[in-house]
């Protein structure tokens, strides 16, 4: 699969709920997991591969030798606690890393590929990745959260895109 890069318009579009889990959804999820790992990512939203379904992949053990990718369908963040700012990147913005404020802990409600309703508690890097991918599904990008100090970095990155 090819990862969509900014400024592709699909990255600003809101994903649609997954109504029924089909073979197509299974195949998409499998391809997305492979694509995420092939690109050294810890998360990947469906619209990052050009598909407007409310689905993302996140690795629950990003710093472990035994990765644990999870398919998250129709997610809803139901609780968030304590904000922390840390560095973040995005597969749709190769080479750009920004300090972004995110919640340190959260509670996520979602469906898995077997239509089971799941609730997980996440913190640290996993919570950050979940929020990042969740934002993608709503057409929100990490550059939307940039602080004043890093606005010039974003402007320079975007101007380099235009000159390519």
List the CATH number of the domain containing 52: 3.90.45.10
How far from chain centre, in Å, is Cα 92? 10
* Helix, strand, or coil (residue 12): helix
Residue 77 lies in a domain: yes
Residue 106 lies in a domain: yes
**Which structural domain range is residue 111 located in?**
9-162
Residue 1 lies in a domain: no
Q: Is 133 a catalytic residue?
A: yes
Residue 4 lies in a domain: no
Residue 2 lies in a domain: no
pLDDT in tens, 64-117: 888 899 999 999 999 999 999 999 999 999 999 999 999 999 999 999 999 999
Choose, from 133, 148, 150, 156, the residue flagged as catalytic: 133
What pLDDT shows up at residue 62?
84
What pLDDT shows up at residue 135?
99
Residue 24 lies in a domain: yes
pLDDT in tens, 109-161: 999 999 999 999 999 999 999 999 999 999 999 999 998 889 999 999 999 88
Q: How many domains does the chain have?
A: 1
Residue 116 lies in a domain: yes
Show the tokens assigned to 161. 């895109």
Q: Which of 23, 28, 132 is nearest to 71 (CA)?
A: 28
Residue 101 lies in a domain: yes
| Binding site listing | 90, 132, 136
| Binding site listing for Fe cation | 90, 132, 136
């Amino acid at each position: 699969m090819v990862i969509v890069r900014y400024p592709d318009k699909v990255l600003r579009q809101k994903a649609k709920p997954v109504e029924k889990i089909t073979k197509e959804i299974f195949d998409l999820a499998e391809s997305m997991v492979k694509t995420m790992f092939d690109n050294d990512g810890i998360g990947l939203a469906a619209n990052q591969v050009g598909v407007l379904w409310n689905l993302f992949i996140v690795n629950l053990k990003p710093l472990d030798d035994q990765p644990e990718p999870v398919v998250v369908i129709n997610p809803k963040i139901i609780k968030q606690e304590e904000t922390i700012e840390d560095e973040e990147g995005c597969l749709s913005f190769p080479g750009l890393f920004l300090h972004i404020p995110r919640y340190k802990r959260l509670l996520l409600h979602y469906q898995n590929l077997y239509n089971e309703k799941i609730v997980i508690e996440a913190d640290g890097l996993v919570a950050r990745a979940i929020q990042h991918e969740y934002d993608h599904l709503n057409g929100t990008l990490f550059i939307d959260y940039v602080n004043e100090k890093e606005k010039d970095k974003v402007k320079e990155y975007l101007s380099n895109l235009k000159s390519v």
